[in-house]
Amino acid sequence: MDAAVNGPPRSGTQGHRPGGTGLRIAGLRVEYGDFVAVDGLSIDVAAGDSFGIVGESGSGKSTVLRAVCGLAPLASGTVRLTGDGDTPMPGSKAFRRQVQMVFQDPYGSLHPRQTVDRILAEPLAIHGFADAEARIENALDEVGLGSGFRFRYPHQLSGGQRQRIAIARALILEPRVLLLDEPTSALDASVQAEVLNLLDALRERRGLTFVMVSHDLAVVTHLCRRLAVMQRGCIVEEVDSADLSAHRVQAAYTRSLMEASAGFSREPPA
């Protein structure tokens, strides 16, 4: 596990926040022709909670997030927001405002020919916000960059700065649920820790609900209180991050992931 994010989990230990917005997925199935990418997945994330999905490449974990936000074909199942307030229908404009996604590659997810200012202004224009100037400045301040970055292009930013812009773009509409698709895997270890700490602070401050996908168990246990382990499109086990850190798991596949995450030994087997 990466030393930069090692240690006991810090996030989500207070549980859900009353009055917020949660996410419930029931019987989710995603198909690409004859290939079933996700098969009957169900998870329930309480308002203000942080939930992780882990698994090897090709297990279907990123497809789950894409299906939630309408970027993958949903063959069957339901996705809905839960909580005390309005619960817009999936696919609606109101749903997309409340559920935002941060992608794995910040360089690929930002338009290379648009300035930071235009990147942040676009979702505000789509959703009809009139106070774009103030929102852009506040969003940049909130991710630790400031207004000096407004008129730079993505290629003029470091990887960590680009991901902060991607986070600012996701948060500028004031969503209630944030989907995080390997948000630090393209970053150096020291920058990973900075971005994770930023996300942790934003979740606490805003009362956000997180669903995070990662192949890195250290990253997930740092940010998420609970997690699901996926294999071949299905959940094989759900476990608290504290139990994962203490190696209190049941499924053989989960144990194999933990062994792979710990690295390999150069010593020959006894």
- Give the pLDDT score at 170: 95
- Give the pLDDT score at 10: 44
CATH number of 3-261: 3.40.50.300
For the chain (length 270 residues), average pLDDT per consecutive 10? 42 49 96 95 95 94 94 92 80 91 86 95 93 94 93 94 95 95 86 92 94 89 92 95 90 90 55
| Closest among 213, 167, 160 to 50, alpha carbons compared | 213
C-alpha 253, offset from chain centre: 23
Checking DSSP bridges between strand 21-32 and strand 74-83, what pairing results, if any? antiparallel
- Give the pLDDT score at 85: 66
**Residue 107 has which token pair?**
């360089």
- Give the pLDDT score at 186: 79
